[in-house]
Structure 1
Amino acid sequence: MKTYLMPSLKLTFVLLLICSVIYPLVVAGIGKLAPGKGDGVKLMYNGRVVGYENVGQSFTKPQYFHGRPSAVDYNAAGSAGSNKGPTNPDYLAVVKARVDTFLLQNPTVKRADVPSELVTASGSGLDPDLSVAAATVQINRVATVRNLPVTQVAKLVKQQTQVPLLGFLGPEKINVLKLNIALDELAAAGK
């Protein structure tokens, strides 16, 4: 029995040290090298933190671009999807209500032109980004409410578009919070 007990205890101690001390310290150290020092990249506006670059927020006012809906109300502590399948009647009713709301807010958009990401929640419920198409479909509403030329708002959307990594890895995307901050800065500069 001694033949097996001592090696097992030694192996347990070594693995406990590696998995509970060394590995977490290495990961935390790598995180400190990342943007935001492992705490996320804070976005500032008028000298105060208005959000984080990698966590979505709820924008419901018509003068702002709206992001993806969230099944967890953008609560980063409880990120999750809805866990309802695409044929679930409750889920279909929620999506239909979101489509109807979107069409009321954007009367120039046809039902077939509503991007699915604007009416369906992401898997994490925290997606901070939109596709270019999802931002573009909202340009008329935002420009009208803010009394700005459509071309000026479209230019802003183009400026905020992030290209894929290395030019081909992933889609083009727009961070909704950064876009809305830029929109507020544009409005403030025009006053």
Structure 2
Amino acid sequence: MKKHILPALKLTIIMILFFTVIYPLAVWGMSQFSSNAGKGKIIEHNGKKYYSNIGQAFTADKYFWSRPSAVNYNAAGSGASNKGPSNEEYLGQVQARIDTFLVHNPGIKKSEIPVDLITASGSGLDPNFSVQAAKVQVKRIAIVRGIEEQKINQLIEENTESPLWGIFGPQKINVLKLNIALDKLASR
């Protein structure tokens, strides 16, 4: 029995030290070399500070709508809904999002709505959406703001981020940055 307890206790103490002291210090140390010393990417707009790497709620018709969040964009409680694709409550939420989108975007067919506008991300905090998610909203924003669709499409192109090293992941757009650029365009 002593043969097994002593090594188990040693291993437990080593793991506690590693995972509560050494590993967190190593991660913290590496973050100090990142932009803003690991405190996130902060953008100031109209006197307010926003984290560009955390999703924000945009639901006004004059803005590009964000990807839905299962945690109501609360960074302290990152996570998904954990409901399966056959869960009745989940299907009801998705259908409600589709219906809301169609009401605010007349002329768009259900089949044209990108999935990232009606389903939440795994973290519930995704700050980005697809290029298609932006383009499907152009007509609504152009009408509400009185801006030509061509100018809004140009804004989308300017704010489209390429995949990592050109191969990892799809093109994406940061919704916060796009909406700030949209406000600047509208104020001109």
Letter matched to residue 170 of structure 2:
P
Moved over 4 A (4+): 1-16
> Structure 1, residues 69-116: CA drift from partner, whole Å, max 9, x if none?
111111111111111111111111111111011001000211110111
> Structure 1, residues 53-78: CA drift from partner, whole Å, max 9, x if none?
11111111100000111111111111
What residue number does 1:98 align with?
97
Q: CA RMSD in A?
A: 2.0
> Structure 1, residues 27-61: CA drift from partner, whole Å, max 9, x if none?
10101111221111111113431x21111111111
What residue number does 1:120 align with?
119
Secondary structure, in 3 states, of the residue corresponding to 2:158?
helix
> Aligned pair 1:110/2:109, yes or no?
yes
**How far apart are the structure 1 equivalents of 2:116 and 2:184?**
26
Residue 147 and residue 37 in structure 1: after superposition, are their counterparts in 2 closer, same or farther (change >3 A)? same
Residue 25 and residue 138 in structure 1: after superposition, are their counterparts in 2 closer, same or farther (change >3 A)? same
Letter matched to residue 34 of structure 2:
A
Secondary structure, in 3 states, of the residue corresponding to 1:167?
coil
What residue number does 1:25 align with?
25
In structure 2, stretches of 5+ residues that fail to align are none
Secondary structure, in 3 states, of the residue corresponding to 2:173?
strand
**How far apart are the structure 2 equivalents of 1:145 and 1:93?**
29
In structure 1, stretches of 5+ residues that fail to align are none
> Aligned pair 1:137/2:136, yes or no?
yes
**How far apart are the structure 2 equivalents of 1:100 and 1:58?**
18
Secondary structure, in 3 states, of the residue corresponding to 2:44?
strand
Question: Between Structure 1 and Structure 2, how many residues are aligned?
Answer: 188
Letter matched to residue 18 of structure 2:
I
> Structure 1, residues 125-161: CA drift from partner, whole Å, max 9, x if none?
1111010001110011111111000000000011000
**How far apart are the structure 2 equivalents of 1:15 and 1:111?**
52
Which structure 2 residues correspond to residues 18-167 of structure 1 after superposition, within 5 A? 18-49=18-49, 51-167=50-166
**How far apart are the structure 2 equivalents of 1:87 and 1:10?**
46
Residue 12 and residue 89 in structure 1: after superposition, are their counterparts in 2 closer, same or farther (change >3 A)? closer
Secondary structure, in 3 states, of the residue corresponding to 1:168?
coil
Post-superposition offset of 1:22: 2.5
Post-superposition offset of 1:23: 2.2
Post-superposition offset of 1:5: 8.1
Residue 4 and residue 141 in structure 1: after superposition, are their counterparts in 2 closer, same or farther (change >3 A)? closer
> Structure 1, residues 168-188: CA drift from partner, whole Å, max 9, x if none?
111000000000011111112
Q: Percent of pairs identical after alignment?
A: 52
